[in-house]
A and B are shown apart, each in its own frame.
Chain A
Amino acid sequence: MTRISRIVLAAALALAAGANARAAETGWKLERAGVDVTDRASLQSGARTFVNYCLGCHGLALMRYSALTSIGLTEEQIKDNLMFTADKVGQPIATAMSARQGKEWFGVAPPDLSVIARARGADWLYTYLRTFYRDASTPTGWNNALFPNVGMPHVLWSLQGERALRTEELMRDGKPVSDGHGGTVKVSRFETIAPGSMSAVEYDRTVRDLVAFLVWAGEPHQLARHQLGIWVLYALVILVFLTYFLYKSYWKDLH
Chain B
Amino acid sequence: MANTSTTPPVRQHWAHQLLDWVDARFPLTPLWESQWGKYIAPKNMNFWYIFGSLSALVLALQIVTGIFLTMNYKPDALLAFASVEYIMREVPWGWLIRYMHSTGASAFFIVVYLHMFRGLLYGSYRKPRELTWIFGCLIFLSLMAEAFFGYQLPWGQMSFWGAQVIVNLFAAIPVIGPDLAIWIRGDYVIGDATLNRFFAFHVIAIPLVLIGLVVAHLMALHETGSNNPDGIEIKKQPKDPHTGLPLDGIYAHPYYSVKDVFGVAVFLLVFSIIMFFAPEMGGYFLEYNNFIPADPLKTPPHIAPVWYFTPYYSIQRATTTDLLYVLAAGVVVLVAFYWREIPRGLWRKLTLAVAAVLLVGFYFIEAKVWGVVLMGASVLFFFLMPWLDRAPVKSIRYKGPLYKTALAIFVVAFLVLGWLGTEAPTPAYTRLAQVGTLLYFGFFILMPWYSKADSHKPVPSRVTK
Question: In the complex, what residues of A have CB within 8 A of residue B250's CB?
Answer: 254
| A2 near B46: Cβ-Cβ < 8 Å | yes
| B268 near A239: Cβ-Cβ < 8 Å | yes
Question: In the complex, what residues of A have CB within 8 A of residue B269's CB?
Answer: 233, 236-237, 239-240
One of B14-22, B259-267, B326-334 contacting the partner: B259-267
| B272 near A19: Cβ-Cβ < 8 Å | no
| B277 near A229: Cβ-Cβ < 8 Å | yes
| A246 near B261: Cβ-Cβ < 8 Å | yes
* Contact of A1 with B by CB under 8 A: yes
Known contacts A243-B262, A246-B258: does B88 contact A219 (CB below 8 Å)? yes
Question: In the complex, what residues of B have CB within 8 A of residue A230's CB?
Answer: 276
* Contact of B422 with A by CB under 8 A: yes
A209-253 interface with B by 8 A CB criterion: 218-221, 225-226, 228-230, 232-233, 236-237, 239-240, 242-244, 246-247, 250-251
Question: In the complex, what residues of A have CB within 8 A of residue B288's CB?
Answer: 20, 22, 118-121
* Contact of B283 with A by CB under 8 A: yes
Nearest Cβ on chain B to A125's Cβ, whole angstroms: 13
* Contact of A76 with B by CB under 8 A: no
One of A8-16, A46-54, A141-149, A188-196 contacting the partner: A8-16
Question: In the complex, what residues of A have CB within 8 A of residue B309's CB?
Answer: none
Closest to B272 in A: A232
| B89 near A247: Cβ-Cβ < 8 Å | no
| B284 near A19: Cβ-Cβ < 8 Å | yes
* Contact of A156 with B by CB under 8 A: no
* Contact of A23 with B by CB under 8 A: yes
Nearest Cβ on chain A to B55's Cβ, whole angstroms: 17
* Contact of B366 with A by CB under 8 A: no
| B282 near A20: Cβ-Cβ < 8 Å | yes
Closest to B121 in A: A4
Question: In the complex, what residues of A have CB within 8 A of residue B415's CB?
Answer: 11, 15
Q: Which of A22, A62, A236, A250 contacts B86 (CB 8 A)?
A: A62
| B422 near A236: Cβ-Cβ < 8 Å | no
Interface string of A8-43 (1 = CB under 8 A from B): 100100011001111101000000000000000000
Closest to A220 in B: B89
Nearest Cβ on chain A to B253's Cβ, whole angstroms: 10
Most chain A CB inside 10 Å of its own CB: which residue of B82, B250, B269, B281: B269
Interface string of B398-431 (1 = CB under 8 A from A): 0000000000000000010001001000000000
* Contact of B95 with A by CB under 8 A: yes
Bound complex: CA of A232 vs CA of B270, how far in Å?
11
Closest to A228 in B: B276
Closest to A224 in B: B95
Q: Is the interface of A mostly helix, strand, loop or mixed?
A: helix
Closest to A227 in B: B276
Q: Which of B96, B254, B259, B291 contacts A118 (CB 8 A)?
A: B291
A56-90 interface with B by 8 A CB criterion: 62-63, 67
Q: Which of A5, A119, A254 contacts B255 (CB 8 A)?
A: A254
Closest to B85 in A: A62
Bound complex: CA of A16 vs CA of B287, how far in Å?
14
* Contact of A127 with B by CB under 8 A: no
Closest to A217 in B: B89
Question: In the complex, what residues of A have CB within 8 A of residue B280's CB?
Answer: 118
Nearest Cβ on chain B to A67's Cβ, whole angstroms: 7
Nearest Cβ on chain A to B416's Cβ, whole angstroms: 11
| A247 near B276: Cβ-Cβ < 8 Å | no
Interface size (A, Cβ < 8 Å)? Answer: 48
Question: In the complex, what residues of B have CB within 8 A of residue A232's CB?
Answer: 272, 276
* Contact of B47 with A by CB under 8 A: yes
Bound complex: CA of A241 vs CA of B338, how far in Å?
55
* Contact of A115 with B by CB under 8 A: yes
| B255 near A251: Cβ-Cβ < 8 Å | yes
Question: In the complex, what residues of A have CB within 8 A of residue B282's CB?
Answer: 16, 19-20
Q: Which of B88, B96, B266 contacts A240 (CB 8 A)?
A: B266
* Contact of A114 with B by CB under 8 A: yes
Question: In the complex, what residues of A have CB within 8 A of residue B95's CB?
Answer: 219, 221, 225
Q: Which of B89, B96, B99, B259 contacts A251 (CB 8 A)?
A: B259
Nearest Cβ on chain A to B284's Cβ, whole angstroms: 5
Nearest Cβ on chain B to A31's Cβ, whole angstroms: 18
* Contact of B134 with A by CB under 8 A: no
Bound complex: CA of A62 vs CA of B90, how far in Å?
10
| B82 near A62: Cβ-Cβ < 8 Å | yes
* Contact of B301 with A by CB under 8 A: yes
* Contact of B273 with A by CB under 8 A: yes
Bound complex: CA of A251 vs CA of B262, how far in Å?
12
| B277 near A226: Cβ-Cβ < 8 Å | yes
Q: Which of B89, B261, B265, B291 contacts A221 (CB 8 A)?
A: B89
| B301 near A23: Cβ-Cβ < 8 Å | yes
Bound complex: CA of A1 vs CA of B95, how far in Å?
35
Bound complex: CA of A221 vs CA of B90, how far in Å?
10
Known contacts A62-B89, A232-B276: does B258 contact A247 (CB below 8 Å)? yes
Bound complex: CA of A25 vs CA of B89, how far in Å?
30
Nearest Cβ on chain A to B351's Cβ, whole angstroms: 36
Sampled A-B contacts (25; CB under 8 Å): A2-B47, A4-B121, A5-B47, A11-B415, A19-B281, A19-B282, A20-B282, A25-B301, A62-B85, A118-B288, A219-B88, A220-B89, A225-B95, A226-B276, A228-B96, A232-B276, A236-B269, A239-B269, A240-B265, A243-B265, A246-B262, A250-B254, A251-B255, A251-B259, A254-B43
- Interface, chain B (partner A; CB < 8 A): 43, 46-48, 82, 85-86, 88-89, 95-96, 99, 114, 117, 121, 250, 254-255, 258-259, 261-262, 264-266, 268-269, 272-273, 275-277, 279-284, 287-289, 291-292, 301-302, 415, 419, 422
CB-based closest 3 A-B pairs: A19-B282, A229-B276, A20-B283
